[in-house]
Structure 1
Amino acid sequence: MTKKARSAPAAQRSAAPLGEDRRAAIADAAIHLVATRGLRGLTHRAVDEQAGLPPGSTSYYLRTRDALLSACVNRMLERDLARGSAGTGPPPGLDLEEFLVGMMLQLVRERPDDLVARYELSLEASRRPDLHTAIIEGGRRLRETLATVLAALGVPDPEKTAWPVAAMMDGLMYDRVAGAGSSLSDDAFENAVRTSLSALLTGLRQAKYSE
């Protein structure tokens, strides 16, 4: 995959947002900074500059670093749930296996900042209990959405199997944006995603999940 320079969030290129839009712009800018500069590059001042906001805006809404980190997690969760129809799964009539493949490919292509930031934040969460709680809760809600899809696909014990399926999906996406998978062509990566997910779902349909 040819790496392209990531553009700044739209908030930086337009008039300064207000209200809830400003909160979203702050979170988007923070995610971009974590993805491109790492956690050391994430400061309240840097977020103000990245989002094109007046100095002090970020600290007004999110006074502590923990609050800023949690805002990143919550913003990414908001986007993930919107993509998964807010816990109800995809609309009726869709090829559900294709839905999962498409979701993974879209995340890698359109939201690489979110993926890189998520992995950075997951490591940081091992040292920050509040952040760890936010990530665990976010993961639980995403697995609930995934479980509805797995149930419709005929996978037994979908609430339990959602965890290993999510872990495999995360692993493939992580490797694409930050590991050896970044050297694959787009077609090779897509084929690997389809083959791996299909094999996993086929195996899960044939075997009962045990404790």
Structure 2
Amino acid sequence: MVRSNPQRRAALVDAAIEVLAREGARGLTFRSVDAEAAVPPGTASNYFANRDELLTQAGARVYERLVPDEQTLAEQRAAGRDRETYARLMRDLVGRVSGFRSGYLALLELRLESTRRPALRAILTERVRADLDANIGYHLESGLPGDATSVELLYLALNWLIVEQLTLPDVLSPAERERLVTAAVERIVRE
């Protein structure tokens, strides 16, 4: 197994994300990843021991790509500490996550696949829990209104809003989605 080219590995994992989003977990093969990445046949099998490793790394890579850049984090830190600001931050978050459509759809595929693969479920559970805990910690340190339960409730509500937007985009208009994010913050977050 080749592990010496990190750029090639990242390109293969990014290709796996695209395959997952387009074809689902059942369509994810080394051959499909090679084709998506436009590399010679057999390349992916040189970088990953098995399909489970490829699935796991695809999930981790989605989270890496969803982390806000330093400029976004700096703007968040400099923003106000009221519910209106919090609502704007949540609308921005929904927009950023929805903007990586293939990544979020790949995560949904991985979640479905994890119901059949206990090892993948364990890894995803650990990763999602760590992400949720990090979000709670960031929120509590930020001085924004609300508590840990507010963060958890918004996490659940906004995740489904994103699913709706990516899978059935005509159910709610963009204006309705923005209004609902604001309403969720106003109703869930106590000042």
Q: Check whether the contact 1:96–1:149 (CA below 8 A) recurs between aligned residues.
A: no
Alignment of 1:94-105 (within 5 A): 94=79, 95-105=85-95
Q: Check whether the contact 1:122–1:132 (CA below 8 A) recurs between aligned residues.
A: yes
- Identify the match of residue 165 of structure 1 among 139, 154, 157: 154
* Stretch of structure 1 that moved more, 110-119 or 65-74: 110-119
Aligned residue number for residue 82 of structure 2: none
Q: Check whether the contact 2:62–2:104 (CA below 8 A) recurs between aligned residues.
A: no
Distance 1:20 1:41, change over 3 A: same
After TM superposition, give the deviation of residue 142 of structure 1 in Å.
2.3
* Higher normalized helix content (fraction of residues): 2
Alignment of 1:57-206 (within 5 A): 57-80=43-66, 82-83=67-68, 91-94=76-79, 95-108=85-98, 110-147=99-136, 148-149=138-139, 152-156=143-147, 158=148, 160-179=149-168, 182-184=169-171, 188-189=173-174, 191-206=175-190
Runs of at least 5 residues in structure 1 that lack an aligned partner in the other structure: 1-17
- Report Cα offsets for 1:26-81 as digits up to 9, x if no partner: 1110110111112222100111111122222211211211111101100001112x
After TM superposition, give the deviation of residue 120 of structure 1 in Å.
1.2
Distance 1:89 1:167, change over 3 A: farther
Q: Check whether the contact 2:56–2:123 (CA below 8 A) recurs between aligned residues.
A: yes
Q: Check whether the contact 2:17–2:106 (CA below 8 A) recurs between aligned residues.
A: yes
Q: Check whether the contact 2:13–2:54 (CA below 8 A) recurs between aligned residues.
A: yes
After TM superposition, give the deviation of residue 89 of structure 1 in Å.
8.4
Distance 1:162 1:205, change over 3 A: closer
- Structure 2 CA distance, aligned partners of 1:53 and 1:130? 29
Amino acid at match of 1:202: E
- Structure 2 CA distance, aligned partners of 1:63 and 1:57? 12
Runs of at least 5 residues in structure 2 that lack an aligned partner in the other structure: 80-84
- Report Cα offsets for 1:118-150 as digits up to 9, x if no partner: 111111101111211221122123213432236
Report SS of the residue matched to 1:55.
Answer: coil
What percent identity do the matched residue pairs reach?
25
* Stretch of structure 1 that moved more, 65-74 or 131-140: 131-140
Report SS of the residue matched to 2:77.
Answer: coil
- TM-score, normalised by the number of residues in structure 2: 0.82
- Structure 2 CA distance, aligned partners of 1:49 and 1:117? 17
